[in-house]
Amino acid sequence: CVVSVTSVPPHHSTIRPGSPVPVNTNNPGVRKAARFGVYRYNNSSNDLFLFKESQIKKAMVQIVRGLKYMLHVEIKRTVCEKRDHSSLDSCHFQREKNLQRMLRCYFEVWIQPWTHRVHIPVAHC
């Protein structure tokens, strides 16, 4: 989970180290963090179906004893039922109109790569 050099601000920037900086939504670390946020949502929801990220709208990262991602993510209901414990990668989005559901979420995902710890202090949908 390494932030590419391109997402670090130049020295003349007004952003101080430790401040959140924008990062590309296609960044592998961002995508991984979004998935952790989705897991957290799925574990706390009462929905019969699993949700999966459909679009990462905005991503920021802050270097603070690891990487703290601040993500605005759209998640959608999949066809996979929770009790099946499916891998989200193989879950397709609902096609049935009356079962489709989209939520806008804000996740804060704090990853400490060296300890393999992931903490998700904020998951609002």
125 — pLDDT class (breaks 50, 70, 90): very high
Per-residue model confidence as pLDDT tens digits over 10-69: 444 444 557 899 999 999 999 999 999 999 999 999 999 999 999 999 999 999 889 999
* Residue 96 DSSP label: S
pLDDT at 10: 43
Element (H, E) at 76: strand 67-81
pLDDT at 18: 78
- The three-state secondary structure class of 100 is coil
pLDDT at 8 over 60: no
DSSP class per residue in 5-66: GGGSPPTTSSPPTTS-EE--TT-HHHHHHHHHHHHHHHHH---SEEEEEEEEEEEEEEESSS
pLDDT at 1: 46
Overall average pLDDT of the 105-124 stretch: 94
pLDDT at 4: 40
| Domain layout of the chain by residue ranges | 21-124
Fold of 21-124: Nuclear Transport Factor 2; Chain: A, (3.10.450)
CA angle 110, 38, 29 (to 5 degrees): 45
pTM comes to: 0.84
Record the tokens describing residue 105, joined without a space: 């979420």
In 3D, which of 71, 70, 113, 76 has the Cα closest to residue 92?
76
Per-residue model confidence as pLDDT tens digits over 59-106: 999 998 899 999 999 999 999 999 987 799 999 999 999 999 999 999
d(CA 5, CA 123): 28
Contacts of 14 (CB under 8 A, 6+ apart): none
